[in-house]
């Protein structure tokens, strides 16, 4: 456990900072949409912010998975398809704690808006528009305790997929290729040849 936190602390802190930055972005979009009194615009802005957030998480996890290839080959670490999930769980630890606190409040009979719920949605404000738009029984999802667990899941999935894609050196776009000087970046032909050699070496 200590080795895990030592090796990946930078990555899950970066994921949380990406979440916070996207939350600020999502909150700004929500305020603009609310001022226009347009619920559809609020929903669309929220979906755009969520998509942007998940792309960031996927990208961070991809680079971690790609860099772990060398560690596995050298025997420094063992291969694990769930490592991206564990990194994301660490990055979402504050969200999970708040979700548990909101659930406890709900079971104690504290319904509606509370300080804890406000904090929980504020640090994940990209979901604000979506949760406000969707209603169950005439009540927005903001007031449902279980939704604070539910909105953590997309990041866990994105991180797991990103890590495994990076470990497999699978590129959806060229954006997944590690940052290198332009002169050193592999061409598509070189990437194909690299994958071919790796398969032959197995």
Model confidence pLDDT, tens digit, residues 77-123 = 899 999 999 999 999 999 999 999 999 998 887 766 578 888 998 89
Overall domain count for the chain: 1
CB distance 118 to 107 below 8 Å: no
Name every residue whose Cβ is closer than 8 Å to that of residue 166 and which is 6 or more positions away in sequence: 61, 62, 63, 64, 65, 66, 67, 68, 176
Region 61-69: what's the mean pLDDT?
A: 93
Run of H or E including 197 = helix 188-201
Residue 7 has pLDDT above 70, yes or no: yes
pLDDT attached to residue 183: 47
Residue-wise DSSP of 147-194 = HHHHTTHHHHHHHHHHHHHHHTT--SSGGGSPP--GGGSPPHHHHHHH
Model confidence pLDDT, tens digit, residues 137-196 = 888 888 888 999 999 999 999 999 999 999 998 887 654 445 544 444 455 666 666 666
Where does the pLDDT of residue 58 fall: very low under 50, low under 70, confident under 90, or very high at 90 and above?
Answer: very high
Region 4-19: what's the mean pLDDT?
A: 91
What residue numbers bound the domain in which 53 lies? 2-201
């Amino acid at each position: 456990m200590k080795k895990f936190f030592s090796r990946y602390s930078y990555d899950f802190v970066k994921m949380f900072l990406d979440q916070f930055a996207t939350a600020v972005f999502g909150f700004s979009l929500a305020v603009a949409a609310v001022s226009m009194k347009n619920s559809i615009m609020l929903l669309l802005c929220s979906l755009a912010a969520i998509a942007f957030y998940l792309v960031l998480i996927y990208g961070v996890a991809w680079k971690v998975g790609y860099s772990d290839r060398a560690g596995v080959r050298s025997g420094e670490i063992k291969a694990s398809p769930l490592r991206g999930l564990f990194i994301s769980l660490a990055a979402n630890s504050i969200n999970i704690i708040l979700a548990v606190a909101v659930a406890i409040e709900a079971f104690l009979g504290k319904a509606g808006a509370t300080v804890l719920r406000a904090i929980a949605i504020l640090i994940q404000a990209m979901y604000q528009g979506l949760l406000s738009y969707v209603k169950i029984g005439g009540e927005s999802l903001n007031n449902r305790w279980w939704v604070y667990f539910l909105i953590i899941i997309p990041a866990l999935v994105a991180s797991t997929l990103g890590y495994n894609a990076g470990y497999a050196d699978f590129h959806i776009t060229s954006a997944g290729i590690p940052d290198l000087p332009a002169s050193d970046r592999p061409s598509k032909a070189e990437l194909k040849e690299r994958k071919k050699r790796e398969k032959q070496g197995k």
